[in-house]
Structure 1
Amino acid sequence: NSPAATQQLCVFSQLKFFISALSCRMRSSSSSKQAADNSRGISGHLLTLHQRLYHALNLGTRYCDDGVQKLHYSDNEMQRLVLRSVDAFLDNISAESLQHQVVKESVGDIVAAVGSILASKSAATLRLASDVAVKIVRVIPSTMLQLHLANLIHPLSSLLSFQELRVAISCASALNLILSNLSSKREKEVWDILRTTNVVGNLVQNVKGYSSDNKPTEYFQEMASLLSKILWRWPPSRFCVWTDAKLLNILDTVKLNPDCSIRIAVLQLYSALALCGNGTKKLLEDGEGLVKITVDSLDSSNPYSVQIEGLRLAQCLTKSEQGCSKINKSSCEPFVKAVITLMSNWSFDAGKLAKCQMSILVEACRLALITRWAGDHQFYLWKAGVDGVLLSLLIGNSDTTQQSLRCLSLQEQIVKLEEVFDKYVLLPLRPYVWDILGWLAANCMEDFSPKMHGNETSFNALVICACLAFVDSILTARQISQGSVCHSSESEPASRAVLMMIYSPSKYIASETRFILSEVLTLKGKDYVEYLLDILKAVSSGNKFGIPSNFRLVITLITLACYSALPKIRKHVIQHGGIPTLLSFISWWLDNPVHLNRSSVAPHVQNYFSERTCCWPSSEDWEGEDMLLLFGLMALGELINAKNCGGLFCNQMESRAAFIRELQEICINNSSPGPRWYAAYILRHFGLYGFPSKFGREFRELLTDNEHTDVELIIKNQEPVHVHGVILLVRCPSLLPLEELLKESSSLKQDSDSCNRLITKVRLSAHVDCQSLTKLLEYIYSGFFEAGEDLVKKLKILARHCNLPPLVQLLYGRNPKWRTPFPSSDITSALGPAGRNFSYESFFTTHFGNLWIVLDIETLFVSFWFKFSFRIHFQALLCCGGCTELFFLYPDTIVYLA
């Protein structure tokens, strides 16, 4: 352990390395042919620089640290020599020489040497070392660097707060380049390093110190850009940033800086923070300034890079309906105008679209998918001529083409548009165009018509193009072999758009689409109904050799759902056994559920941000992962609607009962709103109305329990009906006159047989009959009831006056509107502060004396605390906030409490 022994050991190690290197050189030079091969593709000058590089590298001491090869240089002069050698070598590397083995084998040693010099933090060499680190990352391809990144990232991360700004900026620049090209396989390793060196905390401090310390623009740009990349790639890094109030205040100030690079860095940082759902809420709390800078960045006068970042930030902010509403509230019309302008300002140069223009169009179309949310922006989109803009993206922005359609018949328009549609080249945009169109149709009001905005011709042309793409998708699906992924990217979006237009709440859009699709199919001369039904039969039969791909199955079901809404083709579908085929398919799916993400059949839904979000509610569409079930139910619902349901299960009562049970199971156990809505929609054809729930039967039994009721509903010339006020208050408050409930002069009486219950009397209108009220109460308690046609007519009026839109929709037989939430049986609001002095608090106090209820919403744990220890028998209804599960404690339940 003496210094002399240590020095001898170092000398021995270096000598051993030199002997090894010399031996390698001798072996390599033993064959002249091998030497010639090694020097092929590399200049003599670069070989000389390579020799000088290794002469300098070998001056250091090699050692291993946790399995990582490292180098140590004892003095500044030695470090400078190494850095200059590396710098000279990198300056002379060409694209061709990068493929040479000599260069490839040098990468590890170069990174190890520069990394060790950075780690030494010698002030005399750090500036040069950090500049060389940047050059390494720029010159050497990321694929070659991946294995050696740890040697570079750790020291660079440790120097981000170095007092010499030039060094800190270069280190941030190098890390920016590294993270831009980081392989996903290395993410965990790199994140461990960044977390160990507290990179996020240091970057936040650097950004906060920018405005006060009078630092150069480049400093903020590099630090903010690096922080954005880390936030984008690693969700755990976001919380400590968006909760830093001082940082957000600094950004509020810095975002006003007119410097283009600063604006881009700020927009990127906001976008990264907005990937977190909670972060977005925080940003939008006082979001007028943020909305303004977002809308301003979309102005066409801005540089391309500013527009791109503004579009990406807007996409993040409008990822939820609440975010979209915030923008609507402060800048709806300017926002919509900016989006429409970006989608319109493009042109071909020598028959081609500039790359930057295509990028803008893609991002603008992604942002235009705000059409999936209802709101004021829908009106302004139509007002701004969104249908004409979408048509231009499909057939070109020539006014001549669009104007010539006005004087043509529908058949002539179809022929004309088919010619133009097939020639046009903006194919990457088409999936977005179809999605935008579909959502526009789905969110229209019943009385909406494009004629309101003078857009009838362009809209009809858009529908024709969609119907042409719809028919093409059937042909595309036929040509795709089992398991193939090489299908048209617009097939599913185009088919879905036609589906959403056919089922649009707008009577004009629905009828016009059905008419145009019928005409297109007539001109094509074939509808492929038998082929489509054969696909479903192959699936239901369980024949593994005949099962189609998921893509073909999706297109088949969407097509049948559309065909079922066209009278002529619907008859054809029924004649070829469409109903029993769909019944068999749905039963097969319930036994063998095939869950599909939409991205598996429509790749365009995945984008720059889609896989990096956190803390957002489920972003799945209305169908969730059950699109096959949804489209099957939609098709079946339309067919049953057109056919007399009484003859559907003629003399097959067991089959009828089994099918009803299946539909009820979908309503109860399926997590996606779409399939549940359409299952309820089909049940109405069997006289069953409402929305079955897991505990509906138990709730219904409470109707016959008068012991704990606290409201009397008085009907003229009828016996009063006793109900539980809290259930009415939560599920149908229109039946309770709340202004009377809160008056001290309310009619109350005390019933000594009911432990001093407070009974509220409510006198109902003379138009309400007992039978209708009983059925309505069944729905209010259990969410479900059975009724004949005569009773349904009475219930329509009563349900409408009681403000129960979901029930009204079923009673009138209207198709469910896309994205409508499935009605919940949850009564959690009765346990929270609802701003009313009417709850179960008095119930528990009256019946159980000194009783408190403690609900832990996180663990769904309920504690009962009593003044004394004893055993009780009781009945209570409890439910936990934020949870759809209901917990019942029955009268015979014995609870032991300490």
Structure 2
Amino acid sequence: MSEWCSSGSRKVPPDQMTLVKEACQSALMMRWAGIHHSYFWKLKVDRILLDVLIGNTSTAFGNEIVFHPEDIIAEFSSSCIEIRSYIWNILGYIAAHCAEDFLPYNGKSGYLEVLINIACLMANEFWYNGKTCSSSNFCEVEPISRAVLLMVFSPCKFISSQARNCIAKVAWTSGTEYLEKLLGSLMFNFSGDASPVSYSLHTLINLISLACYSTLPLYQQFIVQRKGIDLLADIIRKCLKNETHVSMSNITSHLHGASDGKLCCWSNIEDWVGGDLILFHSLQILSQLIPFSNFICDYSKIISRDSVTSNNLGVLVESLFKSLSSILDNTYSPGSRWYAQYVLSFFGLFGFPSKLGKRMGVSLTENELADIQFLFTNGQPLRVHGSILVAVCPYLLPPKDSFIKKSLLDCESLKGNRQHGTNFRYEVKLSERVDSSALMKILDYIYTGFIIVEDDEVKPVRILAKRCGLNSLSYMLDKKLPEWGTPVPNCDFSHALEPAEHHLSDTILEANEITGVTWTCAMCVLTLPHIHAHRVILWSNCGYLRALFQSGMSESYSAIIKVPIGFPALTKLVAWFYTGELPRINLDCNWNNMTTNQQLHELQSYVELSWLAEFWLLEEVREEALNVVLSCLELNQKLSMEIINFALELHQWRIVEAAASNIAPLYPKMRDSGDLENFSEEAVDLLRSEYVRRSQKGFSKDG
């Protein structure tokens, strides 16, 4: 690229077009955030993109960087549309990951400004003239529209303001007329039984266009007055009912090469947007319009049905609120969840509720196993758990050295503390400047990942959140728009398991002995495989352990809990306790390259978890473990042959039946070859019965 730019050639030589295309494909790594962005800017990526787009700018325009985009667009007829599509993608990714105060390294924004203006002018040309579905523009309209969208929503003030100003100038004379037409088209698409999937590209481009215009103050009230929010609420409702589903692959198959999309071991950043673009962009638009609507009200008014005077509006607000609340669930993409959360913040809801958070919230309200006590100046106590604070908000913890030195990992100390009604290891006297209600909100968020904050509470909670280092909560309370690619802050207490936090551990989970392996621990002298854990987390997440701790029997005071499973299964169980998610097997090349014995070893831990979950009343763990095993067995008959005996020993009948069904067609061959000798008598009977059943079913069909 640099050789061509310095050669004085006006256009990219034909013999270098393949190289330019490969370079553009490599530059798509800009879709991911990282330090590589700074390297691209040091190499003047904006200048290079403009050179590829219109020809060598130093040849065409000398050393000036101020030129008119309208004149440049005429040059495009001789350039390659495929290359331009890559340029728009790269430009969009650049905009998505620029910092708020970013400016190009050379201090000159001319090249970037021209790129922004060209993209906005061309996108508006497509939108206004209805060229979104014409064959000549099909390969370019989606990438350039998406690039403009990413620029308009860029966290970089320079890029977003330039893009919005350019769109506003174009729309100055006929913006309202265009929006009338645009809203009418979308209302028609989503009314009645019509399916927007059949014309998905046109629908998507209309939504992207509306999203861009929804950021302009001149048109926000106009869109709201034309029942834009009613339309969006209806679209979101249909998306949640699976009536519409448009993914990137539906509309950009013409851009996909062998290296695009989801690779075997790596998920594309597009996963942040998810597989339903209509839902995502509808939420984007709603995020811009909700502040100008009469929908906004406190959560308490919604649940009391006292939010509005109009019954019709009240029903719509309640319906939209329920739809947005359901999107916060982990089954939706991070981008959709973030925008749903942003809109809900105007109703006083902040964070992302989860099953784990709901379970952990009980320990805060019931004060069970609390080991730290905060004292307000009025003498009111507030009891919390050090293991929870160290995992999420260590700023609230007293200094480590000030904790009681003695270990709680002995039966007598646990029994004595229980009998005296306290486990406190430290008491903290709070300053009179600490707002008690704000601190309670902060603790609610620490334990559950989700809080409801009234308007008059937002300021003190935001101040305390910043001082406590809760950046995600502070970001939401500031009501900042979601940044592209930002992960969702989920409940995660796994940091408490780090060796540095060992002083807060109060129990040990001991797994089965590993034959032939000598176990050593840097934190204790136990020689069996084990994990140092925390009673409050076990108590909150497992009904069996909760009953054990409260039983008053000797086992309830023991510092060691024997868990009758292997250590690999125990690590997965502990991961579920602390994160709410059971680690899953990725059926990628790493899995495929394992031997059958290695795969069997991995699966056995999930079979053990399924067995243990029955007795420990962990239905969620049981279902997830079963799903992992069954999905793996479907892909490998040999694995089914190996797992069936192990599953039989643990009486895991769903796994046994699935394995038997997979290998039943092989029964005659296994019988003749003597392979059935490797199975237990019960397994052989099951295989024979399944083979006979399937044979009879096949005969009845033939008859």
Q: Does 1:461 align with 2:120?
A: no
Aligned counterpart, 2:583 = 882
Note the C-alpha offset of 1:476: 7.0
The answer to whether the 8 A contact 1:476-1:487 is kept is: no
Aligned counterpart, 1:398 = 57
Partner SS state of residue 374, structure 2:
strand
User: 2: distance between equivalents of 1:537 and 1:677?
Assistant: 25
Partner SS state of residue 272, structure 2:
coil
Aligned counterpart, 1:725 = 386
Note the C-alpha offset of 1:560: 1.2
Aligned counterpart, 1:662 = 323
Give the structure-2-normalised TM-score.
Answer: 0.67
Note the C-alpha offset of 1:861: 9.6
The 5-angstrom pairing of residues 614-653 of structure 1 reads 614-617=264-267, 620-646=270-296, 650-651=309-310, 652-653=313-314
Aligned counterpart, 1:839 = 505
Amino acid at match of 2:439: L
Name the larger-Rg structure.
1
Aligned counterpart, 2:490 = 824
User: 2: distance between equivalents of 1:611 and 1:439?
Assistant: 15
The answer to whether the 8 A contact 1:691-1:783 is kept is: yes
Q: Does 1:500 align with 2:150?
A: yes
Q: Deviations over 1:807-861 (max 9, x none)?
A: 1111111101100001111334445656543235265598352413467797789
User: 2: distance between equivalents of 1:854 and 1:448?
Assistant: 56
Q: Does 1:445 align with 2:120?
A: no
User: 1: distance between equivalents of 2:398 and 2:573?
Assistant: 34
The answer to whether the 8 A contact 1:681-1:810 is kept is: yes
Amino acid at match of 2:180: E
Q: Does 1:597 align with 2:247?
A: yes
Q: CA RMSD in A?
A: 4.0
Q: Deviations over 1:533-585 (max 9, x none)?
A: 22322233233288761111211111111111011122332232211111111
Note the C-alpha offset of 1:754: 5.6
Aligned counterpart, 1:164 = none
The 5-angstrom pairing of residues 342-741 of structure 1 reads 344=5, 353-355=13-15, 357-399=16-58, 401-402=60-61, 413-420=68-75, 422-450=76-104, 452-475=105-128, 480=133, 488-522=138-172, 528-544=178-194, 549-603=199-253, 605-610=255-260, 613-617=263-267, 620-646=270-296, 650-651=309-310, 652-737=313-398, 739-740=400-401
Note the C-alpha offset of 1:342: 7.3
Partner SS state of residue 785, structure 1:
strand
Note the C-alpha offset of 1:346: 7.9
User: 2: distance between equivalents of 1:550 and 1:830?
Assistant: 47
Note the C-alpha offset of 1:799: 0.8
Amino acid at match of 2:95: A
Give the structure-1-normalised TM-score.
Answer: 0.54
Unaligned runs of 5+ in 2: 298-306, 509-533, 536-548, 550-554, 586-608, 620-649, 652-703
Aligned counterpart, 2:674 = none
Classify 1:599/1:479 alpha carbon distance in 2 versus 1 (closer, same or farther; 3 Å).
closer
Q: Deviations over 1:481-539 (max 9, x none)?
A: 8xxx8752121111111111111111122112111121133377776212322232223
Classify 1:655/1:699 alpha carbon distance in 2 versus 1 (closer, same or farther; 3 Å).
farther
User: 1: distance between equivalents of 2:268 and 2:77?
Assistant: 39
Classify 1:614/1:666 alpha carbon distance in 2 versus 1 (closer, same or farther; 3 Å).
same
Partner SS state of residue 284, structure 2:
helix
Note the C-alpha offset of 1:702: 2.3
Partner SS state of residue 609, structure 1:
coil
Note the C-alpha offset of 1:619: 5.4
Classify 1:595/1:827 alpha carbon distance in 2 versus 1 (closer, same or farther; 3 Å).
farther
Partner SS state of residue 574, structure 1:
helix
Classify 1:889/1:812 alpha carbon distance in 2 versus 1 (closer, same or farther; 3 Å).
farther
Classify 1:392/1:531 alpha carbon distance in 2 versus 1 (closer, same or farther; 3 Å).
same
- Number of equivalenced pairs: 536
Amino acid at match of 1:572: F
Note the C-alpha offset of 1:445: 1.5
The answer to whether the 8 A contact 1:394-1:424 is kept is: no
Classify 1:883/1:496 alpha carbon distance in 2 versus 1 (closer, same or farther; 3 Å).
same
Classify 1:877/1:826 alpha carbon distance in 2 versus 1 (closer, same or farther; 3 Å).
closer
User: 2: distance between equivalents of 1:469 and 1:597?
Assistant: 24
User: 2: distance between equivalents of 1:546 and 1:435?
Assistant: 25
User: 1: distance between equivalents of 2:198 and 2:37?
Assistant: 38
Partner SS state of residue 138, structure 2:
coil
Amino acid at match of 2:208: I
Q: Deviations over 1:375-427 (max 9, x none)?
A: 3322232232111111112221132544597566xxxx24323333x434132
The answer to whether the 8 A contact 1:449-1:508 is kept is: yes
The answer to whether the 8 A contact 1:599-1:605 is kept is: no
Amino acid at match of 1:384: L
User: 2: distance between equivalents of 1:714 and 1:342?
Assistant: 70
Percent identity for Structure 1 against Structure 2: 33
Partner SS state of residue 462, structure 1:
helix
The answer to whether the 8 A contact 2:295-2:317 is kept is: no
Partner SS state of residue 689, structure 1:
strand
The 5-angstrom pairing of residues 26-37 of structure 1 reads none
The answer to whether the 8 A contact 1:649-1:655 is kept is: no
User: 1: distance between equivalents of 2:168 and 2:192?
Assistant: 33
Aligned counterpart, 1:771 = 437
Q: Deviations over 1:58-112 (max 9, x none)?
A: xxxxxxxxxxxxxxxxxxxxxxxxxxxxxxxxxxxxxxxxxxxxxxxxxxxxxxx
